[in-house]
Amino acid sequence: MNNDSYEQHVIESFKVICLCKSVKKGSILKAIKEGCTNLSDINRKLGTGSGDCHGERCQDKIRQILNEVT
């Protein structure tokens, strides 16, 4: 990974995916690395989907991340 793509990776990891619970993309990637294999696993581990919007704003984004890395 060159410096530019590493920098981009770091910036991406700070992106907030679940606004209600302030969960960043990096935390989701870490949860996947630690064994979460589906949306329910991630929601259980990080609390995503249980905020005021009940996942309306984040669940599709998390599914997309899962599809990208699994």
Among the listed residues 27, 39, 42, 48, the single contact to ligand FES using CB under 6 A: 48
Comparing CB distances to ligand FES, the nearer of 13 and 57 is: 57
Can residue 21 be called a binding residue for ligand FES (CB under 6 A)? yes
Give min distance, CB of 53 to ligand FES, in A. 3
What DSSP character marks residue 15? Answer: S
Instruction: Give strand pairing partners of 18.
Output: 23
The residue range among 1-9, 24-32, 33-41, 44-52 that interacts with ligand FES, by the rule CB under 6 A, is 44-52
Largest CA distance in the chain: 39
Can residue 57 be called a binding residue for ligand FES (CB under 6 A)? yes
Closest CA to 26 of 56, 67, 65, 59: 65
Contact criterion met (CB below 8 Å) for 11 and 4: no
